[in-house]
Amino acid sequence: MSSAPTPSRVANRYGNPKPVRRLSRARLLIIAVLLAAVAAVGAVALTSGSPDVSSKDVGFSLASDGRASVDFEVTKDRSATAQCAVQVLSENYAVVGWKVVTIGPNSAEDGVNAGGTTAHRTDVRTDSPAVSGGVNACWIVED
Short-list 95, 103, 104, 105, CA closest to 136: 95
CA–CA distance, 26 with 6 (Å, rounded to integer): 38
- For residues 84 and 59, membership in a common domain is answered with yes
Give the Cβ contact number of residue 88 at 10 Å: 26
pLDDT of 5: 62
7, part of any domain = no
* H or E element, residue 43: helix 25-47
Residue 67 has pLDDT above 70, yes or no: yes
CATH number at residue 74: 2.60.40.10
- Confidence check: pLDDT of 76 > 90: yes
Mark whether 35 and 73 lie in a shared domain.
no
Domain that holds residue 30: 22-50
Q: Is 124 exposed, middle or buried (0-12, 13-18, 19+ CB in 10 A)?
A: buried
Checking if the pLDDT of 4 tops 80, the result is no
Provide the b/e sequence for 109-118 (b: ≥16 CB within 10 Å).
eebeeebebb
Q: How confident is the model at residue 19 (pLDDT cuts 50, 70, 90)?
A: confident
